[in-house]
Amino acid sequence: MKFTSVEKGCIPPCNVAPNSLMGVPRVQTNPSRWHGDGWQGFVEELKSKGVVVREEKWERSIFVTDAGGLAFGLPHGVVRPSSSEDVSKVLIAAQTHLVPVITRGGGLSSEGEAIAFGGLLLDMTSMNRVLEVDRENMTVRTEAGIFWHQLAEVLRRDGLDYLSAPLNMTSTVGGVLGVGGIDINSPRLGCSADQALALRVVTPTGEIVECSGSENSDLFERVLLGYGQFGVITEATMKIRPFTHIKMRYLYYSSLRTAIEDLQLIVREDASDYSGILTVMDSAINLLVAFDSDGREQEFDARWRSRLRGHGEVSFGVRLALYYALHPWRIKEALYIVDRRMKMVPEFFRPEFMREGKIEDRTVVFSRAVWKFWGGRQMVIPDLSASAEKFIEAVERGNAVCRKYFRYYTLYCVGIKKMEDLPRYEMSCMPPGATDFAYGCEFEPMLKDKDYSRDYLQSFKNEIYDIGVDMGLSYYRFGGMMKGYIRRIFGDEMVDRHLEMKRKADPAMILNPDVIF
């Protein structure tokens, strides 16, 4: 398509025209803004049914971006539902008037998945009540818009706790069940979605359905890990457990390969209650192990500690000091590691959250640390999910990409227990070839509020995602701006089959239309 100087307001060649970067591929695209036809009739129908649509710009602007801070879009209006019936009314009207509806919880997506490029944004955080705590059966029924930290606060009044939840507790229950939810207890308990026993779901056509493993199981499996394509979760019944304090231990490594091998040993042998790897580049690798009881920790020391090759902090510090003494040209890196350690480690041992050497409230500790040390106005967190056999190579290749693009970065590695061969795992964070366990790694640069072009950051992400394509892996955060990789990783046959299911469930293709398909 050619533009004249009148059309573009400048004389060709125009440096802002779509073809201005001839020979330079654009590596990021956002969906085009919805044109708005049918909006007024949609709003009027909802008004007649008692559903308030907020169209003020200040209301809409709250949701202009997500935690990634790279994609931006503005809805035409916002609805904060108070019930499943409200959600049903919205989706019935949306099918009639062909209005896209984007659901949003905590907005912690990093690829624009929770951003509305026009249409309606459904802010689910208004549905945030805990409905029932069943101590006898160890379950909780809650509205899906509740933040995980709110759920934890309610449960802990009765000495109870969630099972597997995301590391960042400012996400919502419904949003996490739709994408997976990975944490340091996922090696034992699986992802958050695996803790769901039953759901109330509003389908894209507005039907309110109760579903579980035994009732409407097809919908249950499609909605869990379904990335918001097959329905809106409005209520969830999940497993819970008694609350315990946890004891954290750290082992330090200078080799990614060695640390991952030890992590896989711990996961495979169920040697701890929690485990994961967190690094400062590939220079200081920390293997975290934690325990719910003194007995578990004692068993770990007796059976497994001698088989692990990590060092204590003091001995590792000496080794690191010697290394940098012999490599003085890397002194800035050494100073960064020291500064990172001095600021970050005390956050995990703040006295107000500790009792007799144990963390009393990991919810607060982890969420504070996540936002303080990894948050910012821009976040890029591409990830890879692999079988045990492919994981080390995937992390080492991803680490090399991080080194290429950024001076400072961190890796976060964790195991994920696979619960049988469930339909929900197809086209999800569970990669092909994974048997008992899968493993995931996030690659996160420390942007430190520096300005990077979106193309530069997207180029970095694409190189990580290309590793997944090359090795036949998966991702546990996908959609939005990286949805072009979905066909490349899963193949046309699988994606087309899911697309056909989507079209059958959502005839007008209005529910979260820019996320996957």
Q: Is 360 helix (H, G, I), strand (E, B) or coil?
A: coil
Which H or E run contains 6? helix 5-8
Residues 235, 307 share a domain: no
Q: What distance in Å separates the CA atoms of residue 165 and residue 163, rounded to the nearest whole number?
A: 7
Q: Is 11 a domain residue?
A: no
Instruction: Give the pLDDT mean for 462-480.
Output: 92
* Whole-number percent of the chain with pLDDT over 90: 73
Q: Quote the radius of gyration of the chain (alpha carbons, Å).
A: 24
Specify if 496 maps to a domain. no
The pLDDT assigned to 336 comes to: 87
Within this chain, do residues 192 and 255 fall inside the same structural domain, yes or no? Answer: no
Q: What is the pLDDT of residue 19?
A: 55
Q: What is the per-residue DSSP string for 108-129?
A: --SSSTT--SSSEEEEGGG---
346 or 186, higher pLDDT? 186
Strand-strand pairing, 196-202 and 208-212: antiparallel
Mean pLDDT to the nearest integer, 72-92: 97
What value does the mean pLDDT take over residues 28-41?
Answer: 85
Is residue 454 predicted with pLDDT exceeding 90? no
Is pLDDT of 13 > 60?
A: no
294 and 391 housed in the same domain = yes
What does the pLDDT average to over 444-462?
88
pLDDT at 23: 60
354 and 219 both lie in a single domain = no
Q: Are 515 and 228 within 8 A, CB to CB?
A: yes
pTM of the model: 0.90
Q: How confident is the model at residue 398 (pLDDT cuts 50, 70, 90)?
A: very high
Question: Residue 461 to residues 68, 225, 256, 401, 405: CA-CA distances in angstroms?
Answer: 12, 22, 20, 9, 10
Number of domains in the chain: 2
| 310 and 406 fall within a common domain | yes
Lowest mean pLDDT, pick from 28-42, 55-69, 104-118, 223-237: 28-42
- Which class for 245: exposed (0-12), middle (13-18), buried (19 or more C-beta within 10 A)? middle
Residues 345 and 323 placed together within one structural domain of the fold: yes
Higher pLDDT, 242 or 375: 242
For residue 114, is it within any domain? no
- Report the CATH number that the domain containing residue 176 is assigned in CATH: 3.30.465.10
Q: What is the pLDDT of residues 354-394, one digit of tens each?
A: 888 888 877 777 777 777 777 778 889 999 999 999 999 99
Segment 116-130 shows an average pLDDT of: 97
pLDDT band of residue 169 (cuts 50, 70, 90) is confident
- Is residue 161 one of the residues assigned to a domain? yes
With 50 as the cut, is the pLDDT of residue 2 above it? Answer: no
User: What was the pLDDT predicted at 25?
Assistant: 55
| H helix runs in 70-158, sequence order | 84-97, 148-156
Same domain, 160 and 287: no
Mean pLDDT of 462-472: 96
The verdict on residue 354 lying in a domain is: yes
Nearest-10 crossing angle of helices 313-326, 331-344:
160
Last residue within a domain, chosen from 201, 221, 242: 242
Find, among 166, 185, 161, the residue nearest to 275 by Cα: 185
CATH code for the domain of 438:
3.40.462
For residue 442, the one-letter residue type is E
Please tell me the distance from the alpha carbon of residue 313 to that of residue 253, in angstroms, as a whole number. 10
Statement: residue 21 has pLDDT above 90: no
Domain boundary among 203, 227, 242: 242
267 and 238 fall within a common domain: no
The pLDDT value recorded for residue 10 is: 42
Integer angstrom CA distances of residue 201 from 85, 142, 150, 212, 217: 11, 13, 21, 10, 12
| Confidence grade of residue 223 (pLDDT, cut at 50, 70, 90) | very high
Residues 233 and 345 in one domain: no
Q: Which domain holds residue 162?
A: 130-242
Please give the share of the chain, as a percent, with pLDDT higher than 70: 94
Which of 207, 242, 277 terminates a domain? The answer is: 242
Do 265 and 201 belong together in one domain?
no
pLDDT at 8: 40
**Confidence band (pLDDT; 50, 70, 90) for 17?**
low
Least confident of 12-16, 128-132, 160-164, 236-240: 12-16
Mean pLDDT of 80-91: 98
CA torsion 170-340-415-357 (nearest 10°) is -80
Q: Are residues 380 and 467 in the same domain?
A: yes
Give 293-341 as a DSSP string.
SHHHHHHHHHHTGGG---B-HHHHHHHHHHHHHH-GGGHHHHHHHHHHH
pLDDT tens digits for range 480-504: 888 889 999 999 999 999 999 999 9
The rounded mean pLDDT for the chain is 90
**Residues 336, 231 share a domain:** no
What's the confidence (pLDDT) of residue 11?
45
On the 0-12 / 13-18 / 19+ scale of CB atoms within 10 A, 506 is buried
**Token code pair at residue 181:** 């939810």
pLDDT score, position 168: 80
